[in-house]
Amino acid sequence: MAADGRRGTGRTPGTATDGGRRRVLVVGDIATDVLAVLPAPLAGGLALGTDTAVRIGLTPGGSAANTATWLAGTGTPVTLIGAVGTDAAGDARLAELAAAGVDTAVARVDAATGAIVVLSDPQDRTMLCDRGANHLLPAAHVTEAVRAATDAGHLHLSAYPLFDPGSAPAALAALRTARATGLSVSVDAASAGPLAAGGEVVRDRLRGADLLLANLDEARVLAGDPTADARTAARALTALAVRVVVKLGADGAVFADQDGTLPVPAEPVTAVDPTGAGDAFAAGLLAAWLSGAAPAEAVRAGNELGARAVTAVGARPATR
């Protein structure tokens, strides 16, 4: 997928040859979000030592589960590979995924289902994470699930499992097995803090992906340049992955491969809650790319789903 529409080097994406869509495997976290939508900006807008009235709700979350749900909404066959506890929260998260049309290969483990406290304003969010069962995702379970998906053409990994010593073997098994079975691979860099803490080890784990997704903070960490603009960072990251997309929120996104960079503007909308917007972007981009779309069209599809995500509260498609 070169910037002029020609395909760059690397594995051909897993499109079907019969006009249908090959299955996408999504590997990563499943969680319950405790979401608080704030009336003031996160950065210095809240008074400390007192009470503040906010909207609080329990909503389904987890980056991989979010992306899988948005993918299902595009009509893409999708299987989510992850872990939840044997608790009521795990039952609820699996029921929601099934209702959304997501197939699951989910291990039930002896731990509480993951939970995330999300503090959100219309432009930004921060998360307090208890990975819970996600920490115990078994590598053997992931390997078996990837091998069993004989109709799959692509694997997408949300990088959160790579940062945790408990789940890193499972994430690495997903990448290794996908490559061994001929699947194309995409990775979402997930979070700047763990990327910085992981250093060169994390960079090595991301190396060789067919597609790498990162926001600007994450891209700067991976590129080793804290002041790089999006195009510079994206170009630098083509040393790690065949194709790179740097997400810029309201400013759109930049695509890069060995032939150059391509900025794509965002969809103008009124933002309500940015939670899950990056996960929705990944789903829109992947659905288009795996259907054979050119880079600008694929990134535009990502922007469209990301824009849709920020106009509603929560990380999943709004139910009707």
H/E stretch holding 161 reads helix 160-163
> Residue 57: beta bridge partners?
35
**Positions of E strands within 121-247:** 125-130, 152-158, 184-188, 211-215, 244-247
262 vs 244: CA distance, rounded Å: 10
Q: Please name the amino acid found at residue 147.
A: R
| CB contact set of 131 (below 8 Å; sequence gap of 6+) | 29, 31, 114, 160, 164, 166, 167
* Burial (Cβ within 10 Å: 0-12, 13-18, ≥19) of residue 320: exposed
Cβ count near 100 (within 10 Å): 20
How much of the chain is helix, strand and coil, in % rounded to 5? 35, 25, 40
Q: 23, 3 in Cβ contact below 8 A?
A: no
In angstroms, rounded to a whole number, what is the distance separating the alpha carbons of residues 164 and 130?
Answer: 12
Residues 25 and 178 sit within 8 Å (Cβ to Cβ): yes
Cα 96 to the center of its chain, rounded Å: 18
Active-site positions read: 279
Measure the CA–CA gap between 79 and 13, rounded to whole angstroms: 17
**Exposed/middle/buried for residue 204 (C-beta within 10 Å: 0-12, 13-18, 19+):** exposed
